[in-house]
Amino acid sequence: MGKRKKEHHFFSMLKSIFRDTAQSIERNNLMSIASILSVVAALIILGIFVIFTVNLQHITENVESAMELRVFMKTEYTEDQKTSVETALRGNSQVTGISFESKDEALEKFSSSLDDYSGLLKGYDSSNNPMAASFIVQVQNPEDLESVKSYAEGLTSQGVDYVKYGEEYVNALVSFSKFSNTLCIVILAVLSVISVFIIYNTIKLTCFARRREIGVMKYVGATDWYIRLPFILEGTFLGCLGALVAMLIIRTGYYYAIAYVTNAVNMPMNSDLVSPALIMGPIFVFCLVYGIIIGAFGSLFSIRKFLNA
């Protein structure tokens, strides 16, 4: 009998807490909407930066994995030099594959890449070919590119002219990726402070309007956590609702972005954007947790003043 009475008291208390939470949101609907919109705005901006950063890292990794070294031979090289360079490159443990591209093959490939302007190279043939023969070298890891380049540059006495692998392109992508990561963290901090501040003031107004009720509850012996809980639930609900709205907008926007990029943008080295199936799950969890934490903390700080009064 006593156990049933305790359960009844517990459920009555929960019902009272949720009722107070709903009434508080209804009474302060304008500030509640402002709180939700602040969380939505913060998470949309943050979500855009997170998606941008993840895709930039994804593209950088794809570009790095597709990178090849070009070991260009001197204009006049002998077959012995060609064999010697090939043997030396194959002997390097970091090299996984080698193919040779002759001057004629290089000219033909370059001409094909010009499409409608290929006629500009009509006057060139094997007798006046301006292209250089080269070895196309694949490496085991992108991190090996620099060391293999240095190794290949040491073969100049055997007919190597110069070595290229587009390191400037990769370095620029990596530098920009690091910058976007730092910017994302800064924006997260700024938007979090703004969201906490707005939710803090929303709950503070509610506490001020109910200050006498809070005083009576304290007087009759209600615990601090019994008084806090409706306000914390209110902030949590506002943060959670803002996160769900933001996630819906981010998800819809990302699908449109993928469709646009696929049809209109020429991605480097056939890279593509990260699949929504891979990125949306973690972002949804992050948005939900972020919204709940921001809402709960904003409420927790705002009510302390009234409980200590």
Structural domains for the chain: 16-63+170-308 (no CATH), 68-165 (3.30.70.3040)
CA dist 248 and 216 (Å) reads: 42
CA dist 200 and 35 (Å) reads: 9
pLDDT at 220: 77
**CB 68, CB 165: distance < 8 Å:** yes
Q: Which of 290, 306, 89 is nearest to 213 (CA)?
A: 306
pLDDT at 261: 77
> Scanning the structure block, which residue is given the tokens 């902030």?
235
pLDDT tens, residue order, the chain (309 aa): 455 655 555 555 556 556 666 666 666 667 677 777 877 887 887 788 778 878 877 777 777 666 778 889 888 888 889 899 989 999 888 888 888 988 888 877 777 766 665 555 665 666 667 788 888 888 877 778 888 888 988 888 888 888 887 777 767 766 777 787 787 788 778 877 777 777 677 667 666 766 776 777 777 777 777 777 777 787 788 788 888 888 889 888 888 888 887 776 666 555 677 888 888 888 888 888 888 887 777 777 777 766 665
Beginning with the edge strand found earlier in the chain, give each strand of the sheet holding 160-164 in spatial order. 95-101, 134-139, 69-73, 160-164
pLDDT at 240: 84
pLDDT at 199: 66
pLDDT at 283: 84
3-state SS, residue 96: strand
Q: Show Cβ contacts of residue 241 under 8 Å, excluding neighbours closer than 6 positions.
A: 36, 39, 291
Q: Show Cβ contacts of residue 157 under 8 Å, excluding neighbours closer than 6 positions.
A: none
Q: What Cα–Cα distance (Å) separates residue 227 from each residue in 12, 19, 186, 205?
A: 15, 13, 35, 15
pTM for this structure? Answer: 0.59
pLDDT at 125: 64
Helices (H), the chain: 2-27, 29-65, 79-90, 103-113, 145-153, 167-209, 211-219, 224-264, 276-308
pLDDT at 13: 53
Q: Find residue 73's DSSP bridge partners.
A: 160
CA dist 52 and 144 (Å) reads: 27
CA dist 60 and 207 (Å) reads: 50
Q: Which two tokens stand for residue 154?
A: 């040491």
Q: What Cα–Cα distance (Å) separates residue 203 from each residue in 14, 44, 85, 125, 199?
A: 20, 23, 74, 79, 6
Q: Which two tokens stand for residue 267?
A: 């991605």
pLDDT at 182: 82
Q: Show Cβ contacts of residue 116 under 8 Å, excluding neighbours closer than 6 positions.
A: none
CA dist 191 and 48 (Å) reads: 13
pLDDT at 111: 73
